[in-house]
Structure 1
Amino acid sequence: MTDKNREEPYGDDEVRPGAEGSEASASGPAPQEPELTVDDILGAEQNVDAAAEDAATGDLETALLNDLKRLQAEYANYRRRTEEQREVEIERAKGSVAKGLLPVLDDLDRADKHGDLTEGTPFTAIAEKLRGVAERIGLTTFGQAGDAFDPQQHEAIFQQPTPGASTATVLEVVELGYRLGSVELRPAKVVVAVPAD
């Protein structure tokens, strides 16, 4: 077999590398591609994997941080709700105790009006202690003779036409009204002076 009978790997139109008269040899040597080794390829893959892992780690850290913030907010809300509920329960317990004391305090007021509470008697000492307990839990009274009649605070049990009265005023307090903090436990029962016709 001769060289001519061998097939050339390049067609007639293709430029052979290093052939004289070709474009590559006319403009100078062809730029050489950098040769890549297996280590280069593996290193590039590791860099890509590391970048993906960093991105995933960043996403994971962000997700964990958001979860932590959400849990902190939920805990703060839980604590606030628990504190509010505790305060409501304390006020409810105080109100229950105070309502139980109201009839006893009414009896003490009646005894005081009739002169049964004289200084130095054991009954007076007990009355003072009981009134002190009522004050410590925050129980206050309202409704005095001469106050302007307020249907939100007073319960009129009788209206007395009174000459010279221009507006409805409290003429006499039958039972004091009681409040526990801002909560009204009982309105004051009063006799109201109204203008005479």
Structure 2
Amino acid sequence: MTDKDFEPNEVPGAEGSEAQASGPAPQDGTDAATEDELTLDDILGATQNADAAAEDAKLADLESALLLDLKRLQAEYANYRRRTEEQRELEISRAKGEAAKGLLPVLDDLDRAAKHGDLQEGTPFAAIGDKVRAVAERLGVVAYGEAGEVFDPQHHEAIFQAPTPGVETPTVLEVVEVGYRLGTVELRPAKVVVAVPAE
């Protein structure tokens, strides 16, 4: 071999090395990092979506619980208001009943006076009687109990039973004392003589 056969800068197999060096670079480095970053972004995005969904579910549960509490409170308030209104009506009826009970003896006296002819039209006594009866009517006091009515132990107080031929059911024969009621409140039962079937 001569010196010409070898160039000073030439190294055997160098061309192959350069060719290999200039060839395609291995796929690690930057591309691998990009793939890792995309995967990490995807994971982070999925986690954030899951967290957002969990927060939405919690908010929906909280909203549902609050709505149930609100409905419960509305129902309780409606019941309270109804009970209060019923209690108020009952107290008003009781107060009216107590006031009306004080008028009953006066109304009895007026009835007796009318039966004896003491309430002549145009007299001062008759005018006073009309005013007292008007007050009782405004309060809602209603008189009941008349001869010929079917006897009702819920509303009539029998002070005497008279066996009477031809009577099939117990019937009011005579009213001794008129009964009074105020709406559904019984102020005083009517005291009556009852005709009962004769045996």
The two structures have a TM-score, normalised by structure 2, of 0.72
**Structure 1: tracts of 5 or more residues without a match:** 1-17, 19-31
Please show how residues 3-14 of structure 1 align to structure 2 within 5 Å: none
Query: What CA RMSD, in Å, does the superposition of the two structures yield over aligned residues?
Result: 2.6
Structure 2 stretches lacking a partner, 5+ long: 1-25, 27-31
Where in structure 2 are the equivalents of 1:14-93 lying within 5 Å? 35-37=35-37, 39-93=41-95
* SS in structure 2 of the partner of residue 171 of structure 1: strand
State the shift of 1:87 in Å.
1.2
Partner of 1:110, secondary structure, is helix
Aligned residues: 166
- Residue 40 to residue 154, structure 1, CA distance change in 2 (3 Å): closer
Corresponding position of 1:166: 167
Q: What is the 5 A alignment of 1:94-173?
A: 94-160=96-162, 164-167=165-168, 168-173=170-175
Bigger radius of gyration among the two: 2
Query: Structure 1 residue 58: deviation in Å?
Result: 1.0
Q: Is the 8 A contact 2:167 2:195 kept in 1?
A: no
How far does residue 165 in structure 1 lie from its aligned partner after superposition? 5.0
Sequence identity percentage: 75
Q: Which moved more, 1:34-43 or 1:68-77?
A: 34-43
Which secondary structure state, in structure 2, belongs to the residue aligned with residue 173 of structure 1?
A: strand
Provide the secondary structure at the position in 2 that maps to 1:35.
Answer: helix
The verdict on how the C-alpha distance between 1:40 and 1:153 changes in structure 2, with shifts beyond 3 A counting, is: closer
1:134-175: CA deviation from partner (whole Å, max 9, x where unpaired): 11222111111233333332223234455x553543333221
- Give the counterpart letter for 1:136 in structure 2: R
AA at the equivalent of 1:185 = L
**For residues 48 and 191 of structure 1, what CA distance do their matches in structure 2 show?**
88
